[in-house]
Chains A and B, each alone.
Chain A
Amino acid sequence: AQSVAQPEDQVNVAEGNPLTVKCTYSVSGNPYLFWYVQYPNRGLQFLLKYITGDNLVKGSYGFEAEFNKSQTSFHLKKPSALVSDSALYFCAVRDGRGQLIWGAGTKLIIKP
């Protein structure tokens, strides 16, 4: 079955430290992978995507994600966290029918 797993409900990071939000996926064929962010009381915003090419993808607000085919992972990273990065982060993968399969989300809390 095609699926996306975000194993951590919540990630706590001190401001200035590097952050990682994990995502693993299961999909047939070549995956199209995405990260979206949702700030409080807002809709989701696109952060970045991997379609093909370089395994390290750079996106908005200084975020990047690394595609690892052997581990079927697409972890979101940032070298230095900001308090304003606190939000809900969703990983998604496009399946063969063209639908997005979503993870349940990871709440990221950045403490000053």
Chain B
Amino acid sequence: ETGVTQTPRHLVMGMTNKKSLKCEQHLGHNAMYWYKQSAKKPLELMFVYNFKEQTENNSVPSRFSPECPNSSHLFLHLHTLQPEDSALYLCASSQVSLRESGGTGELFFGEGSRLTVL
């Protein structure tokens, strides 16, 4: 138990569906992240939120839409995805954003949401 909970763990959706991934952290952290993990590739940072304000968007297609209503919750809204978007989506949190001088890089990850787009 890392203190970061992701739901659902598995999701299968068609290209025309709309779905959402949810992440909740119980660690009192101020920064939250969405990563995409594909087999045999480095983790791809998608979005970063610090104190619920978006600070990074790594050229992610608009079919992925993040939402951070507060420092404990992070959503990833999915719409008209493509089969190549199938991957493991990981949420992470950190006490301090990595951009800040105190951000030393220790991230706490959820177990991920395995997304399959048909």
Residues of A within 8 A of B107 (CB): 36, 44, 46, 100
Interface residues of A in 68-110 (CB under 8 A from B): 90, 92, 94, 97-105
Number of interface residues of B (CB under 8 A): 25
Q: Are B109 and A45 in contact (CB under 8 A)?
A: yes
Contact code string B50-84 (vs A, CB < 8 Å = 1, else 0): 00000010000000000000000000000000000
- The interface of chain B, by Cβ under 8 A from chain A, is 2, 4, 6, 40-43, 45, 56, 90, 92, 97-100, 103-112
Given A32-B104, A43-B90, A43-B92, output 13 extra A-B contacts at Cβ < 8 Å.
Answer: A4-B42, A43-B112, A44-B43, A44-B107, A46-B107, A49-B104, A49-B105, A94-B98, A98-B100, A99-B56, A102-B43, A103-B42, A104-B40
B42 touches A101 (CB 8 A): yes
Chain A residues with CB below 8 A from B104, complex form:
32, 49, 51, 94
- Give the bracket for the number of chain A residues in contact with chain B: 20 to 34
Residues of B within 8 A of A101 (CB): 42
Q: What are 27 pairs between A and B in contact, CB < 8 Å? A: A32-B105, A34-B105, A36-B109, A41-B111, A43-B4, A43-B92, A44-B92, A44-B107, A45-B2, A46-B106, A46-B107, A49-B104, A49-B106, A90-B42, A94-B98, A94-B103, A94-B105, A98-B98, A98-B99, A99-B45, A99-B56, A99-B98, A100-B45, A100-B98, A100-B105, A102-B42, A103-B42
